[in-house]
Amino acid sequence: MKPHPHAFASFRQAMAWVHTWLGLVLGFVLMVCFFFGTLSVFDREIDRWAVPATRFAAQPMPDFHTRLWPAWQTLLPKEADYQAEAPRLHDPAKGALPPRNTLQADQFWAYTTHRDPVVQIGARFVLPTARDDVDDYLYASAQIDPRSGKLLPDGAFNIGSDWFYPMHYHLNWAWLNLGYWLVGLAGMVMLLALISGVILHRKLFRELFTFRPDKQRLRSLLDLHNLSGVVALPFHLFFAFTGVLIFAAWLYLPVGHSLLQPLHDRHAVHEASASGLPHQRSGKAQTHIAPVTAMVQQAKQRWAERGMPGEVGLLELHHVGDADAYISIHRAGSDRVALVGQALHFKASSGALLHEAPPQNPVAAVHEYLSGLHLQHFRHWLLRWLYLLGGLLGCICIATGFLFFVEKRKQQHARQGRQGSRVVDALAITAITGMVLAALAILVANRLLPESFTALGWQSSDWQKAAFWGVWLAAGLHAWLRSAPLAQGRPNPAWREQCLLVAVLALLAVALNWLSTGDHLLKTLITERYWPVAGVDMALLLSALTALWTARRLGERTRRAEGE
């Protein structure tokens, strides 16, 4: 009996199909996640490059009374956020919607790390006329210079932490959380692709040492694909798994806020009762706050007694203006995998210690450890560079997978008059060189546009984002319009043209940083030694050289193809 024509001859052949098509369908999303995840390893350093006012040494948590409290008093939800969110929370039966500038904060917070010269501050506002069935709030956030307590200008745009970093986990597509879901699906597909790849390539150890760049292009691409995948296989598996895990309880499987919401609420009340921390406001006004410096010193002393001296990473003031207000002081996680921890809670009005956080249960500790390893906010520069290397290897693995798919099929598709290779090649260009062009475009726009720039109702940050999306869209259109030679089995010239443009934009970004701030490499490397800015400039120069070398090789390949 003959097998069905669509049946697979072996399990490995089935795995090859799974590996190829799952990788192809969502590989473009994974390319975005890996590339911007790689940039996020040094997101704070990119912030320093993008916001010249923050180019100074990292500072400890500033004084509560002279720096944080005055800055907190200036916070209000942004007008656009208020107009979008307040009507959704408002209950008309409780009266008219209060003006934005009359809102009172219920909670304040301040956060910093060993890589942050500036301090992130924020506030939570309870709408007095909020609906009873909605457990949501209005928020405000800003950055302050801890040396003076002054707020950074509203136009300051942290490209690293506010754009590149969220791009890798929700594509900056917040509508209906679709970006989160798409990235989560891509993460699950990546796990399947990695497992099927391991099954497909049984001789992993041999492929770890196999790369034949002088062989035929198809063989070289496959070697590089296998090599980059095998070398960083544990890295890829870990980050795909923990990336999904971080958002599982909040979004993908939020049983604590859906099926188990009543149990969740009761647990919160029980936990507050057991810890002695007020779960709700008492309703009695109290504006006096005891010296917070003494609370900070007590927290540091207790940490030192437990064998882990450290600085404050997160400081919170709960139930602002209430008699039950309390202050939470969390230890910075510079020498721990966890982001922050070892919290102590003090009564705001008296400074009395209310509660010291006990050790976590095993499940919570494992979750926090895995999340901390993924986010890597702790101080370990060697590991940070290894993360960068692993991310770049992931990009190479995905990119070579696209190229192998096209190279293997383009001649056949050209003979048959099919457009499959042409479409995949254009999408690959968009997801590789086009994405790099978009990242460079936002850096160039950042140095061209003043922070106070406004036009057509858009601020400077809005125009920078528009430059990012506009250049990426243009790169995609260019990739498709220039892909006609692929229909004859010849290379797409868009690869070389976009590599040349990558080099131009990278060099332009370095030059504009010099011209707009005076921080050239001789200054940041030798005289003042400010490594964050020097590192970004050097990465841009290296990118330009790599792009020029690649364009040269592509030009030689095109000439050989035309001569055949």
Kindly compute the dihedral angle of the four CA atoms of residues 66, 69, 71, 73, in this order, to the nearest 10 degrees.
-140
- The least confident of 40-54, 268-282, 316-330 is 268-282
Report the distance separating Cα 153 and Cα 52, nearest Å: 12
Q: Report CA 466 to chain centroid distance, whole Å.
A: 19
Query: For residue 5, how many other CB atoms are within 10 A of its CB?
Result: 5
Report the distance separating Cα 141 and Cα 207, nearest Å: 49
Give the DSSP per-residue string, 455-501.
Answer: ETTEEHHHHHHHHHHHHHHHHHHHHHHT-GGGGGTPPPTHHHHHHHH
Average of pLDDT values for 252-258?
A: 71
Quick check: 459 and 470 in contact, CB under 8 A?
A: no
Average of pLDDT values for 420-447?
A: 95
Which structure tokens are listed for 311?
């600085």
Query: For residue 360, how many other CB atoms are within 10 A of its CB?
Result: 14
Query: For residue 184, how many other CB atoms are within 10 A of its CB?
Result: 20
Kindly compute the dihedral angle of the four CA atoms of residues 247, 327, 138, 274, in this order, to the nearest 10 degrees.
60
pLDDT at position 202? 65
pLDDT at position 215? 61
Burial 512-538 (b: 16+ CB within 10 A, else e): bbbeebebbeebbbeeeebebbbbbbe
CA distances from 269 to 83, 125, 343, 545 (A): 32, 21, 19, 59
Backbone φ and ψ of 416, nearest 5°: -90, -5
Contacts for 355 with CB less than 8 Å, ≥ 6 apart: 275, 276, 277, 344, 345
Kindly compute the dihedral angle of the four CA atoms of residues 511, 515, 518, 524, in this order, to the nearest 10 degrees.
-10
pLDDT above 80 (res 2): no
Angle at 105 between CA 100 and CA 110, to 5 degrees: 120
pLDDT above 50 (res 277): yes
pLDDT digits (tens, 9 = 90+) for 467-498: 999 999 999 999 999 998 888 878 899 999 99
- Three-state SS string over 530-552 comes to CHHHHHHHHHHHHHHHHHHHHHH
Quick check: 448 and 438 in contact, CB under 8 A?
A: no
pLDDT above 60 (res 211): no
Rounded to two decimals, what is the model's pTM?
A: 0.90
pLDDT above 60 (res 564): no
Which structure tokens are listed for 165?
């970093």
- The least confident of 7-11, 191-195, 423-427, 462-466 is 7-11
pLDDT at position 292? 96
Confidence of residue 264 (pLDDT cuts 50, 70, 90): low
Q: What percent of the chain has pLDDT over 90?
A: 56
pLDDT at position 487? 80
Work out the end-to-end distance of the chain between its first and last CA atoms, rounded to an integer number of angstroms: 46
pLDDT digits (tens, 9 = 90+) for 73-105: 999 999 888 998 888 888 888 888 889 989 999
Q: Where are the beta strands (DSSP E) in 247-325?
A: 312-318
pLDDT above 80 (res 526): yes
Average of pLDDT values for 458-467?
A: 94
- Alpha-carbon Rg of the chain, whole angstroms? 27
Specify the higher pLDDT residue, 341 or 180: 180
pLDDT digits (tens, 9 = 90+) for 120-130: 999 999 888 88
Backbone φ and ψ of 159, nearest 5°: -65, -40
pLDDT at position 469? 97
pLDDT at position 1? 39
pLDDT at position 3? 45
Average of pLDDT values for 444-464?
A: 92
* CB burial of residue 133 (10 Å; 0-12, 13-18, 19+): exposed
* Helix 217-231 and helix 381-416, axial crossing angle in degrees, nearest 10: 150
Quick check: 64 and 292 in contact, CB under 8 A?
A: yes
Q: Mean pLDDT score of the chain, rounded to an integer?
A: 88
Specify the higher pLDDT residue, 209 or 171: 171
Confidence of residue 261 (pLDDT cuts 50, 70, 90): low
Average of pLDDT values for 428-434?
A: 96
* CB burial of residue 205 (10 Å; 0-12, 13-18, 19+): exposed
Report the distance separating Cα 199 and Cα 15, nearest Å: 7
Confidence of residue 360 (pLDDT cuts 50, 70, 90): confident
CA distances from 528 to 514, 524, 534, 549 (A): 14, 5, 10, 32
Quick check: 313 and 111 in contact, CB under 8 A?
A: yes
pLDDT digits (tens, 9 = 90+) for 308-343: 888 999 999 999 999 999 999 999 988 888 777 789
Average of pLDDT values for 286-300?
A: 95
Specify the higher pLDDT residue, 399 or 197: 399
Q: Which residue has the tokens 């792009």?
A: 547
Confidence of residue 230 (pLDDT cuts 50, 70, 90): confident
Quick check: 312 and 60 in contact, CB under 8 A?
A: yes
Confidence of residue 17 (pLDDT cuts 50, 70, 90): confident
